[in-house]
Amino acid sequence: MCGIIAYTGTQQALPVLLDGLKRLEYRGYDSTGVSLISRKRIKTVKAAGKLNVLESKLDTPVSGHCGIGHTRWATHGAPTDENAHPHYDADHRYAVVHNGIIENVDALKAKLGKKVTYTSETDSEVIAHLLAQHGGDFVDALRDVLLQITGTYGLAVIDKEHPDTIIVARNGSPVILGIKDDEMLAASDMSALSRYTNQVIHLDDGEIAVLKPGHFEVSRLDSTVSEKQAITLNLQNANYDRGGHPHYLYKEIVDQPDTVRQTLSGRLDERFSTAHLGGLNLSARDLIGIKRITILGCGSALYAGMAGANMIETLARIPVNAEPAAEFRYRNPVIEQDSLYIVVSQSGETFDTLAALREVQRKGGFVLGIVNSVGSTIAREVDGGIYMHAGPEVSVASTKAYTSMLTAFSLLALLLGRSRDVSPQKGNSIINELKALPEKISQVLTLETDIAKIANKYKKSASAFFIGRTSGFPVALEGAQKLKEISYIHAEAYPASELKHGPLALVTKKTPCVVILPDDELLLKTVSSMEEIKARGGPVIAVTSSDSKRIDKLADAVLRVPASGTLTQPVLMGIVLQLLAYHSAVSLGRDVDQPRNLAKSVTVE
């Protein structure tokens, strides 16, 4: 989604803002803009398109020590120069960057009256005009304006009458303060701050912060002071560089042996043949009291949740279901005291997942989070959780975070299993399976050349199917998701058993079918589905851990992952599908890291 960066301090603000925008670009990137206070005037430069378009407009840099910047992902109005942020009032006294949606924009415009001329189609512009109409003290004016807004915002505002001051506010869209000696920064995402400081403060909803060089003051909309302490972030894993790789996505795929190692680090308890998960805030008694689990997430996080549901149900014999967070929150769900709710999110900021978490907690349910982004809103609001420690994921399409979600679920399944009927021997064999996982991922990565050839062969296909059964089905869903979002090849996933109930009508020699075949008790049944596809002339790409010769005979291509236990097979097969999507996208010349219409971290409903 959109990104915000703000700076006030001793340095020239423009390079800091542009650097911040570069780091934020992955969140949303159809237009960008900056406003700086320069010689008591606000100078604004904005442009539709990527950051380089803005940079070319800034050939003569704007000087100034205080400014705000924005990358936009269009919601209200097309991506044009006019609709790009910052927005300002008629006199250019105020400039505003805003993430979120103002639901009562029409009512606010009616209040402002007919005399106001709008220069954009956005909802955000109304904030600048409301401030101008209000006038007076900067903080009081903004407080009053925010009290009139219904909707969500993360915003930063400057006022030329206060040339060293920025005010930021949050309601439903993240704002993080970055503290540094005689400077102050704010951003919607840690990525824009981590180069400058590891001292941060996360604003909570309803908070407003006044920033001056080396000074900040946080209060609530009703003017009560919020006592906030800066936290020190461990930036060891905060690597936002491509590391010499052609794309972030590629780097994030090949980094997975390490990122999985990080997720597992310190969490395998060989003494008791279980997992050690310190942040759950659940006692052994709480663990055995869990009667049901509901997992909530969106997109790939949901598919990881579906895989996790299989793992936990198989190992711990607790009924588990995984649901789209956005649907769950609106169906007035029944929340049970003996149920455990788990929200899964890479960013920790996905609006629908956050809303589902709040709905469960409002009804008294206990919620665990499986989250990557340290200090994110979801991470702060859950009752306990597991950090993935996968490091920042920059590419829009999730890869290493998805894999770490599965890894975190394996650990949780082991813990819940051992709190029930799983024997120490079985627990040990799972620990060994997990210990071997990073090395097996490295072996999967050696399949890349074969995978690239297959991607190249089928890249012209208009459509592809992905099928699998039980633990293979979430893998198929995620494989189809990766292919469609980065290569734009239409891809659908089905349980293999469902093929003959409809989709088989679409199978021809032009529709490659990726068949997921974990080496389990359903293997031969999935092989029968392969037969059905072959009988209709459909090309089959088998992804399997089985050495069955029948698979080799039937399939047009076989991608074989190393043999492993049931918990880790989905991880290995998932990585094959990530590489398949990556090479399909590259061979089609797609913008792999920033696929069209999509944005990382969906902070609007």
For residue 176, how many other CB atoms are within 10 A of its CB? 23
Q: Give the active site residues.
A: 2, 600
Alpha-carbon gap, residue 292 to 283, rounded angstroms: 17
Going from the C-alpha of 242 to that of each of 118, 155, 248, 594, the distances in angstroms are 40, 29, 5, 14
Q: Which is nearer to ligand F6R, 201 or 483 (CB)?
A: 483
Residue among 380, 389, 436, 383 at smallest CA distance from 408:
389
Alpha-carbon gap, residue 261 to 252, rounded angstroms: 14
CB of 557 to ligand F6R, least distance (A): 24
CB of 601 to ligand F6R, least distance (A): 6
Residues 189, 245, 584, CA angle at the centre, nearest 5°? 95
87 burial (CB, 10 Å; 0-12 / 13-18 / 19+) is buried
425-428 — which CB contacts under 8 Å span 24+ positions? 425/273, 426/273, 427/272, 427/273, 427/274, 428/270, 428/273
CB of 297 to ligand F6R, least distance (A): 6
CB of 588 to ligand F6R, least distance (A): 17
> Which residues are near ligand F6R by CB under 6 A?
298-301, 345-347, 350, 353, 397-398, 481, 485, 601-602
CB of 124 to ligand F6R, least distance (A): 23
Q: Which is nearer to ligand F6R, 102 or 397 (CB)?
A: 397
544 contacts 560 by C-beta, under 8 angstroms? yes
Alpha-carbon gap, residue 21 to 36, rounded angstroms: 14
Q: What are phi and psi of 326, to 5 degrees?
A: -65, -35
Q: Which is nearer to ligand F6R, 44 or 372 (CB)?
A: 372
Q: Which is nearer to ligand F6R, 196 or 248 (CB)?
A: 248
Q: Which is nearer to ligand F6R, 401 or 516 (CB)?
A: 401
Q: Which is nearer to ligand F6R, 3 or 213 (CB)?
A: 3
For residue 435, how many other CB atoms are within 10 A of its CB? 13
Beta strands in 436-546 (DSSP E): 463-468, 490-495, 513-517, 540-544
Q: Which is nearer to ligand F6R, 67 or 348 (CB)?
A: 348
Residue among 517, 520, 466, 524 at smallest CA distance from 495:
466
Residue among 68, 5, 2 at smallest CA distance from 31:
2
Alpha-carbon gap, residue 7 to 186, rounded angstroms: 7
Q: Which is nearer to ligand F6R, 569 or 601 (CB)?
A: 601
Instruction: Return the percent helix, strand and coil in the chain, to nearest 5.
Output: 40, 25, 40
CB of 9 to ligand F6R, least distance (A): 31
CB of 356 to ligand F6R, least distance (A): 11
Alpha-carbon gap, residue 389 to 379, rounded angstroms: 12
Residue among 473, 486, 476 at smallest CA distance from 397:
486
Q: Quick one: three-class SS letters along 414-442?
A: HHHHHCCCCCHHHHHHHHHHHHHHHHHHH
93 contacts 49 by C-beta, under 8 angstroms? no
CB of 544 to ligand F6R, least distance (A): 24
Q: Which is nearer to ligand F6R, 213 or 299 (CB)?
A: 299
CB of 600 to ligand F6R, least distance (A): 7
Helix (H) or strand (E) holding 244: none
Alpha-carbon gap, residue 454 to 282, rounded angstroms: 46
Residue among 40, 41, 39, 37 at smallest CA distance from 9:
37
CB of 302 to ligand F6R, least distance (A): 7
DSSP code for 383: S
Q: Which is nearer to ligand F6R, 353 or 568 (CB)?
A: 353
Closest residue to ligand F6R using C-beta atoms:
299
